[in-house]
Structure 1
Amino acid sequence: MRHSLPIAPQFYVTAPQPCPYLENRMERKLFTALQGDGVEQLNNSLSQQGFRRSQNVLYRPSCADCSACLSARISVKDFKPRRSQRRTLKRNANLTRRATSPWATEDQFELFRRYLDSRHADGGMADMDVFEYAAMIEETPVRSRVIEYVEETTQKLTAVSLTDVLDDGVSMVYSFYEPSLQQNSLGTFMILDHIQIALDAGLPYVYLGYWVPGSDKMGYKAKFSGLEIYQQGRWEPLKDPEAISKAAQPFTRDPISEQVANIQLPPIPEKK
Structure 2
Amino acid sequence: MNDETSKYHQLHDYRFFVTPEHECSYLPNRQATTLFIDPQADLTTETYSLFSELGFRRGGDHVYRPHCTLCHECKSVRINVNKFTPSRSQRRISKKNMNTTVHWIEATYKQEHFELYQLYMNHRHGDSSMVSDDSEQYQRMMNAPWCKTKLAEFYDNDKLIAVAITDWLGNGLSAVYTFFDPDYSEYSLGTFSILQQVTAAKKSERDYVYLGYWIKDCDKMSYKNKFAPIEVFNGHSWQIHS
Fold agreement, TM-score > 0.5: yes
Alpha-carbon distance change, 190 to 19 in structure 1, aligned in 2, over 3 angstroms: same
Q: Distance in 1 between matches of 2:239 and 2:127?
A: 33
Deviation for aligned residue 1:9 = 1.7
Alpha-carbon distance change, 134 to 37 in structure 1, aligned in 2, over 3 angstroms: closer
Determine the structure 2 residue equivalent to 1:205: 208
Q: Distance in 1 between matches of 2:65 and 2:40?
A: 17
Amino acid of the structure 1 residue aligned with 2:121 = L
Alpha-carbon distance change, 64 to 24 in structure 1, aligned in 2, over 3 angstroms: same
Match of 1:77 among 82, 88, 112: 82
Determine the structure 2 residue equivalent to 1:50: 55
Q: Distance in 2 between matches of 1:34 and 1:143?
A: 18
- The superposition leaves residues 34-64 of structure 1 with CA deviations (integer Å, 9 ceiling, x where unpaired) of 6665522220111000000122211011112
Determine the structure 2 residue equivalent to 1:180: 183
Determine the structure 2 residue equivalent to 1:17: 22
1:140 aligns with 2:152: no
Report if the CA contact (8 A) 1:20-1:123 is conserved.
no
Output the TM-score relative to the length of structure 1.
0.80
Deviation for aligned residue 1:12 = 0.6
SS of the residue 2:94 aligns to: helix
SS of the residue 1:24 aligns to: coil
Matches within 5 A, 1:228-247: 228-239=231-242
Deviation for aligned residue 1:125 = 2.2
Report if the CA contact (8 A) 2:118-2:132 is conserved.
no
Report if the CA contact (8 A) 2:46-2:169 is conserved.
no
Determine the structure 2 residue equivalent to 1:162: 165
Determine what percentage of the aligned residue pairs are the same residue.
Answer: 38
Q: Distance in 1 between matches of 2:196 and 2:36?
A: 30
Matches within 5 A, 1:244-255: none
Match of 1:125 among 127, 130, 144: 130
Q: Distance in 2 between matches of 1:196 and 1:216?
A: 26
Specify which structure has the bigger relative contact order, considering alpha-carbon pairs within 8 angstroms and separated by 6 or more residues: 1
Alpha-carbon distance change, 227 to 88 in structure 1, aligned in 2, over 3 angstroms: same
- The superposition leaves residues 82-139 of structure 1 with CA deviations (integer Å, 9 ceiling, x where unpaired) of 1110010011112111122211211111111111111233655223522211222243
Amino acid of the structure 1 residue aligned with 2:185 = Q
Report if the CA contact (8 A) 2:17-2:38 is conserved.
no
SS of the residue 2:228 aligns to: coil
Q: Distance in 2 between matches of 1:126 and 1:65?
A: 31
Report if the CA contact (8 A) 2:109-2:139 is conserved.
yes
Report if the CA contact (8 A) 2:23-2:32 is conserved.
yes
1:88 aligns with 2:93: yes
Determine the structure 2 residue equivalent to 1:107: 112
Q: Distance in 1 between matches of 2:107 and 2:75?
A: 27
Amino acid of the structure 1 residue aligned with 2:236 = G
Q: Distance in 2 between matches of 1:144 and 1:51?
A: 16
CA RMSD of aligned residues (A): 1.8
Output the TM-score relative to the length of structure 2.
0.89
Q: Distance in 1 between matches of 2:42 and 2:18?
A: 23
Determine the structure 1 residue equivalent to 2:3: none
Amino acid of the structure 1 residue aligned with 2:66 = P
Gaps of 5+ in 2: 1-11
